[in-house]
């Protein structure tokens, strides 16, 4: 659930950047000085959003790593339990 939420957050920020980039492109094509000046704001926001995405991906990496380690631990414990049962069964025969 945490991973799904993080992916949604990342996608939301990327979608916003796509819109900002499109707006900046439109402003650039217009050659209107006011629009070109606005691009400075858009570029700053895009850069801030990229930093946010990097942070979200870092959090995702940590979450995913934790889940993998947890599942390996559970699988390892289950394997030990099976071996314990096998050894008890073989000692009874």
Q: Quick: pLDDT tens for 27-50.
A: 999 999 999 999 999 999 999 999
Over residues 11-22, the pLDDT tens digits come to 999 999 999 999
Question: What value, to the nearest 5°, has the Cα angle with vertex 63 and ends 47 and 49?
Answer: 10
Residues in the chain: 93
Please give the pLDDT value at position 58. 93
Nearest-angstrom CA–CA distance, 81 and 2: 30
Enumerate the domain spans of the chain.
2-66
Report the half-sphere exposure of 46 (CA within 13 A, side-chain side): 15
Listed in sequence order, the residues at least 6 apart from 34 whose beta carbon sits closer than 8 Å to its beta carbon are: none
Judge whether 16 and 50 are in contact, CB under 8 Å: no
């Amino acid at each position: 659930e945490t991973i799904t939420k993080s992916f949604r957050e990342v996608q939301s920020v990327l979608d916003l950047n796509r819109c900002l980039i499109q707006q900046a492109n439109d402003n650039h094509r217009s050659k209107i000085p006011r629009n070109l000046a606005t691009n400075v704001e858009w570029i700053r926001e895009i850069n801030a959003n990229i930093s946010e995405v990097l942070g979200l991906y870092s959090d995702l990496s940590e979450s995913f790593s934790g889940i993998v380690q947890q599942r390996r631990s559970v699988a390892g414990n289950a394997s030990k339990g099976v071996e314990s049962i096998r050894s008890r069964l073989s000692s009874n025969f």
